[in-house]
Homo-oligomer: A and B are copies of this chain.
Amino acid sequence: MYRNHYDSDITTFSPSGRIHQIEYAMEAVKQGGAAVALKSKKFAILVSLKRSSSDLGSYQKKVFQVDDHVGIAISGLTADARMLCNYMRNECSNYDYVYESKIRIERLVTKVADKHQLHTQGYGGRPYGVGLLVAGYDQLGAHIYQTCPSGNFYNYKSISIGSRSQSAKTYLEKYFEQFEDCSLEQLIVHGLRALRETIPNSDTGLNSKNVAIGIVGENQPFKIIEEENAQPYLNLLENEEPVEMQI
């Protein structure tokens, strides 16, 4: 039953130099609902699949605004994500207060990744069991970042995390060279098509209930499009042949 005795403590290296608890926390990210992030020259967007335990409740939020120029999509432990989102909001408003300008996206991501890292050294009890996709826009353009429980972060052109995200990645890898000059609408359609890849065939697919779209870009403060506002984009999607067919 014991795989080894190096894997239950965040402060223990295995003989091969790995810290298993970090890897296990990253496993929690893979269990979460899928999220997709992509960007053109002028826009960065997040597309996320919301889950609901029953018809009685609204769907769980997966996309959050952090500031006017940045938002996140999450996969993993929602409550942990909320903590990190609060932290990012504080950092944004502190920066704003001190420098009277918006914090640069890379700087903000570094800060939240440092917070991830501290939790891999035994502060705060355990690593955060959540990964973030950060979409933002600053004077350097549109940005997509991913953070991990390990404290690593990555700069992406487009990426997907969460359950069955490999299928979305396959889609993104096929089309990402087209994204740079896409309009916002085209970008959203690409995001929705990538997200649709993560849904098992037996499921009902994307609809205005289970999709949340976060957009940010030039002259476009971060905005979440969901419920009826998401329907027009879903309509665009439905008029196409399924992607599976195209391939």
Contacts and interface: CB of A to CB of B under 8 A. Distances in A.
A77 B15 contact: no
Interface stretch (A78-86, A89-97, A210-218, A234-242): A78-86
A108 interface: no
Interface stretch (A22-30, A182-190, A196-204, A225-233): A22-30
A57 B159 contact: yes
A11 B123 CA distance: 11
A110 B82 contact: yes
A246 interface: no
Interface residues of A, number: 72
Contacts of A30: 17
A172 B55 CA distance: 10
Contact of A152 (B55, B56, B78, B122): B78
B13 A24 contact: yes
A13 B79 contact: no
Given A154-B53, A159-B56, A173-B56, A114 B83 contact: yes
A54 B176 CA distance: 12
A129 B13 contact: yes
A4 B6 CA distance: 12
Given A5-B1, A79-B152, A117-B80, A126 B57 contact: no
Contacts of A151: 77-80, 82
A113 B55 contact: no
Contact of A12 (B21, B58, B155): B21
Interface string A91-121: 0000000000000000000100110110011
Closest 7 CB pairs of A and B: A79-B151, A122-B125, A17-B27, A17-B28, A13-B24, A79-B117, A11-B126
21 contacts: A1-B5, A8-B9, A12-B126, A13-B21, A13-B24, A13-B126, A15-B27, A16-B31, A17-B27, A17-B28, A18-B28, A55-B176, A56-B157, A57-B154, A58-B157, A79-B114, A79-B117, A79-B120, A79-B150, A80-B151, A123-B125
